[in-house]
Structures are given as structure tokens and as C-alpha cells.
Amino acid sequence: MKNRIGTTGLVFNEPLLWEQGATGRTGFSMPRRDVDPAPLDDRLRGDGPDFPDLSELEVMRHFTHLSQWNFGVDSGLYPLGSCTMKYNPRTNERQAALPGFTGAHPLLPPELCQGALKLMHDLEHYLAEITGLPAVTLQPAAGSHGELTGMMIISAFHRSHGGHRSKVLIPDTAHGTNPASATLCGMRPVPIRSNDQGILDPATVAELMDEETAGIMVTNPNTLGLFEENIREIADIVHDRGGLVYGDGANMNAIMGIVDIRAAGVDVLHLNLHKTFSTPHGGGGPGSGPICVTDRLKPFLPVPRVVKTGDRYELDDNAPRSVGKIHTFYGNFGILVRACSYILSMGADLKKVSQLAVLNANYIKERLRDVYHLAYDRPCMHECVFSDAIQEKNKVSTLDIAKRLMEYGFHPPTIYFPLVVHGAIMIEPTETESKDSIDAFIDAIRSIARESADTPEILHEAPRTTKVRRLDETLAARKPCLKG
């Protein structure tokens, strides 16, 4: 690779804000007061926080420097497998920033927020049409929250039919939050091993499915990037024995406009708006994980529901079998605006989004298969999974490869997940990357494969040109330095 994106150029050091500035500096002017002053009682006021005195320029440079330490999808290719770090179009941000949305208080009466209610009602309709599942709630604040809500609905459904089922089947290719969600709903996770093709075998499901089992949680496509092609047969087995099928829709971005989720036999599906519908990732902040259900599960959806009566929109709490309210107000509204903007912008091209995501992943798979071990040698969906089996012969690990890739100017892919692949390297290019950027990534990771054979010591020391060199992973986890 002749020209690297990475560089050894200027790296800023940045002190704490309290180590900058000087007394009396200020970066803003207070607006003219339009009310009479009302001094606080000194007993209530106390000494106050120790805020540093900074100019506008110092504040601007501080946060700019911090941003230059970080790497995001606006910086370059971000190939995190099972996370879909794709570009978020700025038109979505513009719509979410409209004053009518940002200025609306969540306690406004319906007659003063008809536009916001209409947007939520329309978004529910769009998600229902995309998935094939007719009833939707937008309340959950993240994919994992939607997952928990979906399992609460399954639990409520079984209780309404006279009993509690104590188990749920979870494949070894599921997302890690699946067992936690089942456990929080009082069910014991029962693991299922995938077959030698990396997918579920109906016979295995039939062997484990009994009258004590509430259902199965299936990630499709699964975390190996493979489509569960037996999903309809598996759903029939589960339904015949009184269970329900939960679909982890985190990877819906691979099958939009291609797969009818209801026809596949799924009863409950959660969606990650930040993965499939181009909203920012939550990361502890605002996320969104709507769930879509079949008609028979609609009565159990959280309240309030957005309903339309004539030409008027309202929030309806009248649902006696509902699992209740699972989020303050009605979810993270600004994220919903972004997702709705994305869907309206793309329209029928949502299908093309999935087609390009799958094409890009298979292109990477074919271009790297001769230098990295391919765990499952078959067509993949939106992501492909390699391992370090070839490089391991030269004592080069997946971690070494990921650290060295940083010096080439790329964010590393997901490593050591899924757990069913030893030394996993999980790559998801998304549909928003061009062939040029994908080729640059391929050139870099092929160069690292050559280095692992010729000069493995370089990989053992990487990264050497970043602001922070390789950390002691164990010490960093147990005794993190949070000062900066």
C-alpha cells in the first residue's frame, strides 16, 4: 500500500479546562434580563461550583482538540461488525432541528402538537410496512430496551393464556443482550448450538422446544452475517408447541425490502434505528429501539399509543393488557424525527440500501479470503467474519492486526466476536462506503497480512504513532485512568 490514510502528523495535547483560562475571562454575554431580580437565600446557594473562567476561543479549541483525538464515521471508514456505523445524512439533522420539534414540550396537550403526533403515527406505519408486522411502538430508548420490551410482551402473552413459561431458546449466534432480556423477564436462557453452516438446524430446535419454553430469540441475519434460511420451519416448530418467535432485528439493514418478517413467522421484532435507519448511536445517550408485533400481540404494546381519530391524532392509554409505560413520555423524539426523515428521503431505495450493504460485505470477503481465514465459506449478508488462524502461526493475534490497522488510518473492525469463531475479525462496510474507500481498507489489511509473515514484531508493538500507544488491556479494564 503506497499511500496510507494514517499519518504521524500533529497530535495535540490538551490540559483540563481547570488548568486553562484566567480569572475574569468570559466567552458569552448574558441576555438582557426581562424579570425582576430575586436573590437566592445564601443557605440555599452555598459556595457554588468551581467553573473555570474561559474565553470563547479557549472553549472552541478545547473541544476541537478533543474531537481530533477521536475517530468517527465522519472521519473515515468505520467497519464495526454487528454495529452498522454508517454515515448519518445531515438532512436528518436539519429536520430534527426544526423549531416546531425542538421547542415542543412533551407535556403539550394533543391539540398543540398534532404535527409531532402525526410524525410518530406515520413512522409507525412506515416501520410496519417495511417489516410486514402491523403494530408498532416507538417508546423503547435503545435496541436492548426494545428487546426487553419484546420479551415483556411475550411473557405477558403467556400469562394471559393461563401460565408462565420458564425457558427461552437462544442461539450461540445471538446478540449478547438476548440472555439478559430473557432473564429479566423471569425466563432461563437455553443455549442452542448452530450447525456447521453457521445457522440453526430445525431438528435441534424441535428437540429443545417444549411446553415450558416461551419461545425462541433469533437474530436474523445472525452475528456471523449469515441468513437463518430455516427460519420459517423453525417458527412453525415453535408455534406448534405454543411458543412465540422473537426476532432480533438489529441487522435489518441487510434485508429491508427483501424479507417479509411476518411471513417468516416472527411474532415480535425490535429495530435499531441507529443501525438501519441512520440515526446517531445511543452510547448511553439518545437511542431508539422500536418494536413491531403481530395483531394478536398488539394489546400488550406499551402505552400510550398514538391513534388517529378522523383527522386528529391523540395519545391513548386505554389498553388494559398493556405491559405499561416503559419510557418517560413517548421515547426519544429527536431520534424518531431523524429516522422518519431518512425513510422519506430513501423511499423505495431502502431495498437498494440492503443490496449495497450485502454487496460490499461480499466484496470484502472475496478480496480477503486468500490472506485471512474465512470462518464460514459461504455468501454472507451485511458483514463477514474472518479469524487470525493464518497469522497465528507467526504469533500474530487478532488484537495485533486491529492495533496495526489504526496506524494505517482505519478504525479497527469488531474483534473476538461472535464468540463461536476463535480470534474473530468481524467486518461490516455498510452501504454508504464507496468502492474506493473499501479498496483502501482492503489494501491496508492485506498489507498487514504480509507484515505478519515478514515482520511480525511491527504488529506486536502497534500502534506507535497514535496519541496513546498500546495499553495494558487488563490494567485498563480494572484500573482505568479517567482523568484524560
- Local confidence band at 9 (pLDDT 50, 70, 90 cut-offs): low
Q: For residue 198, is it left (φ>0), alpha (ψ between -120 and 50) or beta?
A: left
Q: What is the CATH number of domain 93-347?
A: 3.40.640.10
Tens digit of each residue's pLDDT (9 = 90 or more) over 79-136? 998 889 999 999 999 999 999 999 999 889 999 999 999 999 999 999 999 999 999 9
Give the DSSP per-residue string, 7-69. ----------GGGS--TT--S--PPPP-S---PPPHHHH-S--------HHHHHHHHHHHHHH
Report residue 41 CA to chain centroid gap: 47
Segment 19-48 mean pLDDT: 82
Segment 150-163 mean pLDDT: 94
Produce one character per residue of 433-467: b if its CB has 16 or more CB atoms within 10 Å, e if not: beeebbebbbbbbbbbbebbeeeeebbbebbeebe
Nearest 5°: the CA angle 389, 392, 395 is 175
Asked if residues 418 and 385 have their Cβ atoms less than 8 Å apart, the reply is yes
Tens digit of each residue's pLDDT (9 = 90 or more) over 162-207? 888 999 999 999 988 999 999 999 999 999 999 999 999 999 999 9
Q: What is the DSSP letter of 349?
A: G
Whole-Å CA distances, 279 to 92, 171, 304, 337, 396? 8, 28, 23, 9, 36
Residue 403 to residue 2: CA distance in whole angstroms: 19
The correct CATH number of 350-478 out of 3.40.1160.10, 3.40.50.300, 3.30.2350.10, 3.90.1150.10 is 3.90.1150.10
- Distance linking the first and last C-alpha atoms of the chain: 34
Indicate the range of 2-6, 313-317, 409-413 predicted with least confidence.
2-6
Query: Given a cut of 80, is residue 12 above it in pLDDT?
Result: no
What is the number of H-type helices and E-type strands within the chain? Answer: 16, 13
Query: Given a cut of 70, is residue 303 above it in pLDDT?
Result: yes
3-state secondary structure of 387: strand
Query: Given a cut of 70, is residue 322 above it in pLDDT?
Result: yes
- Local confidence band at 415 (pLDDT 50, 70, 90 cut-offs): very high
Report the largest interatomic distance among the alpha carbons of the chain, rounded to a whole angstrom.
76
Segment 218-242 mean pLDDT: 97
pLDDT of amino acid 330? 84
Phi then psi dihedrals of residue 385, to 5 deg: -120, 120
| CA R_g for the chain | 25
pLDDT of amino acid 27? 85
Asked if residues 317 and 156 have their Cβ atoms less than 8 Å apart, the reply is no
Segment 5-33 mean pLDDT: 82
Whole-Å CA distances, 230 to 15, 132, 193, 243? 56, 18, 14, 17
Asked if residues 95 and 338 have their Cβ atoms less than 8 Å apart, the reply is yes
pLDDT of amino acid 31? 87
Q: For residue 215, is it left (φ>0), alpha (ψ between -120 and 50) or beta?
A: left
- Between the CA atoms of 414, 396, 377 and 76, what dihedral angle is there, to the nearest 10 degrees? 40
Segment 299-323 mean pLDDT: 95
Query: Given a cut of 80, is residue 11 above it in pLDDT?
Result: no
Tens digit of each residue's pLDDT (9 = 90 or more) over 432-456? 999 999 999 999 999 999 999 999 9
Q: Where in the chain is CATH 3.40.640.10?
A: 93-347
Name which of 286, 253, 280 is nearest 341 in CA terms. 280
Query: Given a cut of 90, is residue 7 above it in pLDDT?
Result: no
Phi then psi dihedrals of residue 218, to 5 deg: -120, 125
3-state secondary structure of 449: helix
What pTM value is reported for the model? 0.90
- Local confidence band at 234 (pLDDT 50, 70, 90 cut-offs): very high
Residue 246 to residue 346: CA distance in whole angstroms: 27
Segment 14-22 mean pLDDT: 87
- Local confidence band at 45 (pLDDT 50, 70, 90 cut-offs): low
User: What share of the chain has pLDDT > 90, as a percent?
Assistant: 77
Residue 219 to residue 150: CA distance in whole angstroms: 13
Segment 462-472 mean pLDDT: 86
Tens digit of each residue's pLDDT (9 = 90 or more) over 266-288? 999 999 999 999 998 865 567 89
User: What share of the chain has pLDDT > 70, as a percent?
Assistant: 96
Residue 203 to residue 209: CA distance in whole angstroms: 10
Indicate the range of 13-17, 171-175, 232-236 predicted with least confidence.
13-17
pLDDT of amino acid 87? 92
Q: Which three cell numbers stand for residue 267?
A: 411474532
Query: Given a cut of 90, is residue 382 above it in pLDDT?
Result: yes
Residue 445 to residue 453: CA distance in whole angstroms: 13
Tens digit of each residue's pLDDT (9 = 90 or more) over 73-92? 888 999 998 889 999 999 99
Whole-Å CA distances, 165 to 203, 244, 463? 21, 11, 50
Query: Given a cut of 90, is residue 477 above it in pLDDT?
Result: no
Whole-Å CA distances, 184 to 147, 155, 211, 243, 303? 11, 11, 20, 18, 20
Segment 351-374 mean pLDDT: 98
Q: Where in the chain is CATH 3.90.1150.10?
A: 350-478
Element (H, E) at 237: helix 231-240
Query: Given a cut of 80, is residue 460 above it in pLDDT?
Result: yes
3-state secondary structure of 465: coil
Query: Given a cut of 60, is residue 1 above it in pLDDT?
Result: no
Average pLDDT value for the chain: 92
Query: Given a cut of 60, is residue 305 above it in pLDDT?
Result: yes
Segment 142-162 mean pLDDT: 95
Query: Given a cut of 80, is residue 42 above it in pLDDT?
Result: no
